[in-house]
Structure 1
């Protein structure tokens, strides 16, 4: 069956002093919420370029989200097959 699906990810970024925190979340079509968190800390000797902190924090949050989604998938495979699954990272 051919299908096109659309999943949306929400990205929230908070900045306080030299720290940027990103939270990303998605809701799967099955209704499962999966979230990821990432943080960036600016070195006080570096110039303040907020976009760089945003990029780094979001990249780390997306990587964290991906790992959590893989873990969720492993649990779903076990639930469907009764056998443990270990997906390649």
Structure 2
């Protein structure tokens, strides 16, 4: 019988002048604590569109979070098999 599990990611955005910082935090059933950070810097010559900075910073935070999650899976496979694992994104 199929099972369904719910994981969620919270993204926290902070804007300061021409910079937007994002932190993506993964929540799983087993209390995995993985986080990714992202930063977007606006060129002073560009117009200020906060949504673009938020999108870039969030995308970069999610990208880093994905790398951390892939690394965690690699470590788990290696611990279970006792062999080096080569998981690809």
How many residues align? The count is: 89
SS of the equivalent of 2:10 reads strand
Could you state the TM-score of these two structures normalised by the residue count of structure 1? 0.95
Gaps of 5+ in 2: none
Summarize the alignment of residues 2-81 of structure 1 with structure 2, pairs less than 5 Å apart. Answer: 2-81=2-81
Distance in 1, matches of 2:7 and 2:28, equals 7
Q: CA deviation at 1:29?
A: 1.9
Distance in 1, matches of 2:62 and 2:39, equals 11
Distance in 2, matches of 1:2 and 1:24, equals 28
Gaps of 5+ in 1: none
SS of the equivalent of 1:74 reads helix
Distance in 2, matches of 1:28 and 1:72, equals 13
Moved more, 15-24 or 3-12: 3-12
SS of the equivalent of 1:12 reads strand
